[in-house]
Structure 1
Amino acid sequence: MTDRLPPIAPEHMTPEQHVAAQAVIDGPRGALYGPFVPLLRSPELMQHAQRMGEYLRYRSALGPRLAELAILVTARHWNQQVEWAIHAPIAVEAGIAPGIVDAIAQRRAPAGLAPDEQAVFDFCMELQRDRRVSDATYGAALRRFGEHGVTDLMGLCGYYTFLAMVMNAAQTAAPPSPAAPLPE
């Protein structure tokens, strides 16, 4: 598979692309990689996306452990190898058990989820699979996380779906990772 929108050499970037790339490099990510490589073709879109992602990934009401779980469920739904390669190791570092990560990769319901993890898993699975969330699942998430947390959870699913669509269409290559690639 050929990367349709590979990295742009700095000398070929427009001034707007330079500004957008530098904003990502200067932020918490520290480098231009993953979805930001294809998104650089639309610098303004990339800047808006990176700001939303910075909030959702680093400061959401759910915290890093549950945000990473939502990201993994979304990456698996979209068979998104780049997001999986990046976020599977981060999820484990954030406190998601390796067995849970493996179960998601194999499209199995994970055993041993903590109650907050179960609420996130169920919500994300229903939203991705059914394109809606049942009253029971919504209520469980609302009781646990409140409206702010549920809104951030919807945002995580939507944002990482957007990134998955960008990278799947661009055929962005996955970086080296300690995580095994997602099985087809």
Structure 2
Amino acid sequence: MTDRLGPIAPEDWTAAQRAAAQAIIDGPRGAVYGPFVPLLRSPELMEYAQRMGEYLRYRSAIGVRLSELAILVTARQWNQQVEWAIHAPIAAQVGIPPSVIHAIAERQRPEDMLVDEAVVHDFCIELHERKSVSDRVYADALALFGEQGVVDLMGLNGYYTFLAMVMNTARTVAPPSQAAPLPD
């Protein structure tokens, strides 16, 4: 498949694109890549999206380890190879066991999760598959993470769903990765 909205040469950026790209370059990401390549066509949307993503990825109330787990579940739900290629290695680096990552890739419920990982996994799966969360799973998440954590967990699922939609539509090409691609 051909990348529908591939990179724009920096010399061809408009002033608004240049400003939006510079905000990403100056932030923790350090470069315009992945979903921000197609989003550059809408610089204002890209600016708001990157700010939300910066909070959710680096400072959410559930912490980086569990945020990465939620990102993997969302990437798997959307068959999103770019997000998987980027975040599976990060998830491993921040403590998500390889067996958990592999099970998610295979669309299986991991057997050896910690309690907080199981709560995040189940919350994400229910939200994606049922379009809602059961009272039991909600109560478990609330007890562990509080209201802000639950809202941030919903935000992670929504934000990475948005990015998956962008990249799946744009056919963004996955970067080289230590992670194996998601199976069909």
The alignment's TM-score, normalised by the length of structure 2, stands at: 0.99
Per the alignment, residue 69 of structure 1 pairs with 69
Per the alignment, residue 31 of structure 2 pairs with 31
Report Cα offsets for 1:129-152 as digits up to 9, x if no partner.
111000111011001100010000
State the shift of 1:111 in Å: 1.0
Per the alignment, residue 181 of structure 2 pairs with 181
State the shift of 1:21 in Å: 0.5
Per the alignment, residue 3 of structure 1 pairs with 3
Report Cα offsets for 1:90-122 as digits up to 9, x if no partner.
000010000000000000110111000000000
Residues 36-75 of structure 1 correspond to what in structure 2 (within 5 A)? 36-75=36-75
AA in 2 matched with 1:44: E
Report Cα offsets for 1:138-179 as digits up to 9, x if no partner.
011001100010000000000000000000000000000000
Please give the secondary structure, in 2, of the residue aligned with 1:65: helix
AA in 2 matched with 1:92: A
State the shift of 1:3 in Å: 0.3
Count residues with an aligned counterpart.
184
Query: Which aligned runs of 4 or more in structure 1 are off by greater than 2 angstroms?
Result: none
Per the alignment, residue 89 of structure 2 pairs with 89
Consecutive unaligned residues of structure 1, counting only runs of 5 or more, are: none
Aligned-pair Cα RMSD in Å: 0.4
Partner Cα distance (1:75, 1:10) in 2 = 29
AA in 2 matched with 1:157: N
State the shift of 1:11 in Å: 1.2
Mapped pair 1:125 → 2:125: yes
